[in-house]
Amino acid sequence: MNVPIYLDHHATTPVDPRVLEAMLPYFTREFGNPASRTHRFGWEAERAVEKARRHVADLIGAQPQEIVFTSGATESNNLALKGTAWASRGRGNHIVTLPTEHKAVLDTCHRLESEGFRVTHLPVGQDGLLDLDRLHAALTPETILVSVMAAHNEIGVLQPIAEIGRLCRERCVRFHTDAAQAAGKIPIDVQAASLDLLSLSGHKIYGPKGVGALYVRDASPPLALTPLADGGGHERGFRSGTLNVPGIVGLGAACEICSQEMREESVRLAALRNRLRDSILMKLGEVSVNGSLERRLPHNLHLTLAGVDAQALLMSLSELALSTGSACTSARPEPSYVLKALGLPDDQADASLRIGLGRFNTEEEIDYAAERIVEAVTNLRALSAAPFR
């Protein structure tokens, strides 16, 4: 067993060796620009891009022409939200989302508010789930978009996207989901979920960083979506710029592997997650799991360990790669806005730990991690004045 042990797979994942192998020729031998239509180098690059497009589409139940390649989920979220808002000014100005969304959605909504759009942040329950009745009541004739994350990047909660999508379709409201944490981990069918827009990212599914995709439903009439940048009209005019062929090939290969192995991998990771959870709960008191236990990613565990400062805990666990929350907010000293939205007071939010298991973790690593977490928490609690069982 090698240390440190990586247990932060919500932040990023290692590139699968099979993905790297698929990418390598496109850095050197097959270096063409897929927009070059007059020679073999361009044709080969275009073929590789279209093959990857099919694999991405297959993973989420879409058609290849509905996949727009981007630099990652952040860009996809920006294109989905800003593109919809800017294209819909004449029809409405209201957007509905959740206070627990990723900053790529929340900050984009904040920017749109500064441009005159109105944003409603619907509260979630203590389990992190959206109340569908609240969503129904929030929709107005001015509502142009609902954006709800499929699987949460901190607490692993799975929102009822099929029910949300059905409600949005009935009200003729566009529905977007940030599926960066869900794609490749749980089954997603964009048709069954009545999705109009879906964001995903390569580096969350054992693909390379710097590449992602936006699903844009092929509707009649076409979905109006104003691009973020102009120049060249690539990707159906939604995303101009020379395509990142090696990255796109890697994303396609990662999606193909997920399509083939997701079911078996999810069962294995859920068993490891439960093994880790049970080991910790059996040996430590005053520990609670944040977020719904029934509707949850199979590889996610988010714990509040009362009486322990999570930052101090991480410092005492240098041989484990863990986090307290989103990598995008890890440099901020304040408690997680996600946990506060669930109703946790600051002291409990500051005592919380996010654990994300992954494809290459083993039982030996999980048992060692449980042992070290229990040991570190016990030691930190012993230094505290408050008694713990």
pTM: 0.95
Q: Where are the domains of the chain?
A: 5-12+262-382, 17-256
How would you write the pLDDT of the chain (389 residues) with one tens digit per residue? 889 999 999 999 999 999 999 999 999 999 999 999 999 999 999 999 999 999 999 999 999 999 999 999 999 999 999 999 999 998 999 999 999 999 999 999 999 999 999 999 999 999 999 999 999 999 999 999 999 999 999 999 999 999 999 999 999 999 999 999 999 999 999 999 999 999 999 999 999 999 999 999 999 888 999 999 999 889 988 999 999 999 999 999 999 999 999 999 999 999 999 999 999 999 999 999 999 999 999 999 999 999 999 999 999 999 999 998 766 655 566 789 999 999 999 999 999 999 999 999 999 999 999 999 999 999 999 987 555 55
Q: Which residues pair with 68 in a beta bridge?
A: 214
Whole-angstrom distance, CA of residue 86 vs CA of residue 224: 9
Q: Which fold has domain 17-256?
A: Aspartate Aminotransferase; domain 2 (3.40.640)
Strand pairing of 67-70 and 212-216? antiparallel
Strand pairing of 5-6 and 320-321? parallel
Contacts of 266 (CB under 8 A, 6+ apart): 185, 186, 298, 299
Of the residues 172, 255, 258, 328, only one is catalytic, namely: 328
Q: E strand or H helix at 132, and its extent?
A: helix 132-138
Give CATH for domain 5-12+262-382.
3.90.1150.10
pLDDT tens, residue by residue, 249-307: 999 999 999 999 999 999 999 999 999 999 999 999 999 999 999 999 999 999 999 99
Whole-angstrom distance, CA of residue 28 vs CA of residue 20: 13
Query: Is residue 172 among the annotated active site residues?
Result: no
